[in-house]
Structure 1
Amino acid sequence: MNDAVLEFQLADPDATAALGRRMAATRPSRAVVYLRGDLGSGKSTLARAMLRALGVSGTIRSPTYTLVERYPLADGGEAWHLDLYRIADAGELEYLGLDADDVALWLVEWAERGAGALPRADLVVELAVAGSGRRAHLVPASATGVHWLAALEPER
């Protein structure tokens, strides 16, 4: 499925947020997104922009210490933003009750630390520092991800 990869050069945090808004506007009704990248690569900026575009009002907290933050979406269901940087073993996720059926969008930072305990990704977003900006690779990991990228591509 990797032949449908999209790449974006993001000049600044505003460009990262704009990509997040575009992703929110084209997202499927249910999706799992793994956000990959080093600290400071823009994962949280992208997640916050998506959540804000999906109607989340008020404070959008980083889940760095809580591991998961849950947000009601304007069109129904919930979005869960997870940051698994601080877990040592995927078994720790068992105590978070992550098997809810009403989750419309999973945004998972450091998903590799929860391998085997998370739903499979539909889309993997790989972010990296590139000069003074960022580079984003969007890689589909399911048929849902392929369709999502197809909806994103025409606006490039």
Structure 2
Amino acid sequence: LLDGDLGAGKTCLTQGIAKGLDISRSVTSPTFTIQKIYHGRLLLNHIDAYRLEGVHQDLGFDEYLNDEGLTVIEWSQFSPDLVPEEHLKISIQLLENGDREFTFHALGKKYEDLLEVLA
């Protein structure tokens, strides 16, 4: 999950993740399409939930949330039903001087272990 104000760098971080997965396609925000899928070493499923506030129908994202790839959800607070029980949440805050502050919060052993490796 990626949280942060507009312009904080959520899509930019997703572009970096895609580069790490050897995805050569240009990664752009799925604001209007809601979801974009990219193929690399792992499948990258990029969801922008900004326009999903109040939507209560099944949009078929479950199959991607449970698969072996990586799912990035921007603006997850607008669609809490999309948020898996276990997840890694990265909050990005744009500071006054233009720097960014990242806060990581893991829920579940898999993501707690991942944070240990990254720390």
TM-score when scaled to structure 1?
0.68
Match status 1:128 vs 2:93: yes
Change (3 A) 1:107 1:129: same
Counterpart for residue 20 of structure 1: none
Gaps of 5+ in 2: none
Question: How many angstroms does 1:73 deviate by?
Answer: 2.5
Q: CA 1:148/1:55 → structure 2, altered by over 3 Å: closer, same or farther?
A: same
- Determine which structure has the larger helix proportion and give its number: 1
Higher RCO (CA < 8 A, seq sep 6+):
1
Structure 1: 4+ residue segments shifted above 4 A: none
The reply on whether 1:85 has 2:55 as its aligned counterpart is: no
Aligned pairs, number: 116
Q: 1:148 to 1:42 in 2, by over 3 A?
A: same
Equivalent of 1:106 in 71, 77, 82: 71
TM superposition shift of 1:121: 4.4
Identity %: 26
Does the aligned pair in 2 maintain the 1:79–1:103 contact within 8 Å?
no
1:149 maps to what in 2?
115
Q: CA deviation at 1:61?
A: 2.2
Task: Show CA shifts across 1:54-108 (max 9, x none).
Answer: 011122121111001011222x4x211111112232414x13x112253511100
- Normalising by the residue count of structure 2, what TM-score does the alignment of the two structures yield? 0.87
